[in-house]
Amino acid sequence: ARTRERALEATRALFREGGWAAVTHRAVSDRSGSGRTTLYRHWPDAAALLREVVVLRAGSDRCPLTGELRSGLLSARG
């Protein structure tokens, strides 16, 4: 679980710093300290790494569904 979290955090950081092109298995391995073999086993390509980061991020920002669109949008805006 720790290795997975370190790899995903490295992916997030690399994406913030350099966009899609910055996220490679080698870069994530160097940043996270995880072996590339381990990364390839869990995420066969860089798109899989980015997809998991996006899915986790999207799931963490959900606001409760109240049926009130305007108030929901305003509260999500922060």
> In degrees to the nearest 10, what's the CA dihedral of 37, 60, 1, 8?
30
Q: What is the amino acid identity at position 70?
A: R
Give the per-residue pLDDT at 55: 87
Could you read off the pLDDT of 22-70 as tens digits, one per residue? 999 999 999 999 999 999 999 999 999 999 998 888 766 566 667 777 7
Query: DSSP characters for 2-58?
Result: HHHHHHHHHHHHHHHHH-GGG--HHHHHHHH---HHHHHHH-SSHHHHHHHHHHHHH
Q: Which amino acid is at 51?
A: R
